[in-house]
Structure 1
Amino acid sequence: MNIKEILTATIDFFKKHKIPDSRLDAEVLLAHLLDIERIQLYVKYDLPLEPQEVAAYRELVRKRAERVPVAYLTGEKEFMSLPLVVNKNVLIPRPETELLVEYVIDYCQDKGIDGPNIVDVGTGSGAIAVSLAHYLPAARVLGIDLSAEALAVARLNIDKLGYTGRVKVIKGNLLKPLLKMEKDNVDIIVSNPPYIPRNELGNLSPEVRQEPWMALDGGKDGLDYYRQLIKQAKAVLVRGGIIVLEIAYNQGKSVVALFDDDWEDIKVKKDYAGSERLITAALV
């Protein structure tokens, strides 16, 4: 069996199983297995596969048909043009979250902030933390997560991308580790917290339901973590420091209402699709 034949059969198989992006998934998995770029699949269309390669590919295809996300099968996901390690212990980085990183980069450049102290709450794979360190060469970033398994993945990415000197991670619940240390020198807090209302978790796609529920469950109304984080942030941010939060498309007004008079310049930012995606605010 050659590349063309196995791709054609897999695409048909995925379509029968109603797998979204059937062609893309078939190509990504085969390119990953063969350790080549996707474009090379078409250059080598007639290349015969070894029996062990066919068997290994069929195993990946079987798992994808069971709705295991492609990123978990390949063990990698690109974010902000950086190759990240991912596994079942972390939320898969989304393209929409790149907006949060881009906002902070632009903010620092516009304000002439050199070497900001940034805290990434709920760091997961470390995607946001390492991206900010990459694009803000003098930034110092601390990632916090309650999951030891997620922190292990974050450390892998920090090491892999060479940011062990400027990105650190610690275990903790939201900002509680900093509150205990009485740290109050943070310039920027960023977070993509769990924000899905608990009663909506069952409506998620089969792929998303395989991601860590700890990273998805936002409590009864989806706002549990925003309430805690906004309150805690006041004790660790410098005056004029900012908080940047990812939100769901329908949460703008609800999250804005959680900020009291200690905050100013509260704004809702939309993503490239026109959906509400970020909340930003500065501490008075």
Structure 2
Amino acid sequence: MNIKELLNRSDQFLAARGIESSRLDAEVLMADLLDMERINLYVKYDYPLKNVEIDNYRERIKKRAQRIPVAYITEKKEFMSLEFKVKEGVLIPRPDTENLVEAVIEYCRKEELQSPQIIDVGTGSGAIAVSLAHYLEDAKVVGVDLSTEAIKVARQNMDEHELSERMSILKSDLLKEFIKREITGIDIIVSNPPYISKSEMEKLPPEVKKEPKTALAAGEDGLAYYKKLIPQAEKVLKNGGKLFLEIGYQQAEAVKALFGSSWVEVEVKKDYSENDRIAAAQFKKE
């Protein structure tokens, strides 16, 4: 059996099981298995597959039919034009979150910050923290997470991108460890926290429900983590420091209302789809 024949069968198999991106998923899984760019599959349509390749590929297709996300099957995901290791138990980086990273980079360059100290709260795979350290070449970045599995993966990604000299990964429940150690004077805190409400959780696609609930769910109203993180940030940021948060597209006004009198320049930025996506504010001591 050649590549084209197996792709066509797999496409039909996935489509029949309700996978809307059946052809794309089939091609991505095949390209990853054969260690080639997806575009090259078209050039090698007639390539005869070995039995072991066919068997391994069919196992991948079976997993996808069970609604396991493609990134968990390939154990990798591209983010900010960088490749990240991911695995079950760790949130998969989303393209929408690139808007958050770009906003931080833009702010650092606009303000000409020298060696900015940045904390990424809820780092997961480390995608945000690694991307910031990669593109801000003098930044010092700490990624924090409460999940032992996430910390392990984030450290692997940090090492893979050779950033351990300017990066570290720390276990902490939000910013509690920094407060405990009386660490202050941080330039920027950035976070893509859980922000999905209880009612929204019930409506999520099957693939998303395969991801860790602790990285998605945020109580009845989806604001639980913002309510904790904003007051904590006040104890860690320097005077004039900045907080960047990813938010749900319907949460702008609710999140803005959580910033008290210690915050100025509270603003909401939109993503490429013109949805509210980022809430940013500057900390000013009274």
**Do the structures match in fold with TM over 0.5?**
yes
How far apart in 2 are the matches of 1:90 and 1:225? 18
The alpha-carbon deviation at position 247 of structure 1 amounts to 0.3
The alpha-carbon deviation at position 198 of structure 1 amounts to 2.0
How far apart in 1 are the matches of 2:233 and 2:4? 54
| Equivalent pair of 2:185/2:239 in contact (CA under 8 Å) | no
The letter of the residue matching 1:172 is: S
Q: Determine the structure 1 residue equivalent to 2:117.
A: 117
1:95-106 alignment, distance < 5 Å: 95-106=95-106
1:17-96 alignment, distance < 5 Å: 17-96=17-96
SS in 1 for 2:26: helix
How far apart in 2 are the matches of 1:59 and 1:131? 32
1:210 aligned onto 2:218: no
1:110-149 alignment, distance < 5 Å: 110-149=110-149
The letter of the residue matching 1:216 is: L
The letter of the residue matching 2:54 is: V
**Shift >6 Å, 4+ stretches:** none
| Equivalent pair of 2:72/2:88 in contact (CA under 8 Å) | yes
Q: Determine the structure 1 residue equivalent to 2:167.
A: 167
Q: Determine the structure 2 residue equivalent to 1:195.
A: 195
Residue by residue over 1:58-93, the C-alpha shift from the partner in whole angstroms, topping out at 9 and shown as x without a partner, is: 000000000000000000000000000000121100
SS in 2 for 1:260: coil
The alpha-carbon deviation at position 12 of structure 1 amounts to 1.1
How far apart in 2 are the matches of 1:219 and 1:165? 37
The alpha-carbon deviation at position 174 of structure 1 amounts to 0.3
Q: Determine the structure 2 residue equivalent to 1:154.
A: 154
SS in 1 for 2:20: coil
The percentage of aligned residue pairs carrying the same residue is 55
The letter of the residue matching 2:150 is: A
Residue by residue over 1:97-138, the C-alpha shift from the partner in whole angstroms, topping out at 9 and shown as x without a partner, is: 000110011101111112100000000000000000000000
How far apart in 2 are the matches of 1:190 and 1:78? 20
The letter of the residue matching 1:113 is: L
1:270 aligned onto 2:270: yes
Q: Determine the structure 2 residue equivalent to 1:236.
A: 236
SS in 1 for 2:240: strand
Runs of at least 5 residues in structure 2 that lack an aligned partner in the other structure: none
The alpha-carbon deviation at position 23 of structure 1 amounts to 1.1
Residue by residue over 1:241-272, the C-alpha shift from the partner in whole angstroms, topping out at 9 and shown as x without a partner, is: 00000000000000000000100000011111
SS in 2 for 1:89: coil
How far apart in 2 are the matches of 1:66 and 1:214? 22
How far apart in 2 are the matches of 1:63 and 1:101? 31
The letter of the residue matching 2:191 is: S
How far apart in 1 are the matches of 2:83 and 2:98? 14
The alpha-carbon deviation at position 202 of structure 1 amounts to 1.8
How far apart in 1 are the matches of 2:198 and 2:169? 28
SS in 1 for 2:77: strand
The alpha-carbon deviation at position 191 of structure 1 amounts to 0.2
Q: Determine the structure 2 residue equivalent to 1:247.
A: 247
The alpha-carbon deviation at position 20 of structure 1 amounts to 2.1
The letter of the residue matching 2:256 is: V
| Equivalent pair of 2:124/2:151 in contact (CA under 8 Å) | yes
How far apart in 1 are the matches of 2:248 and 2:136? 26
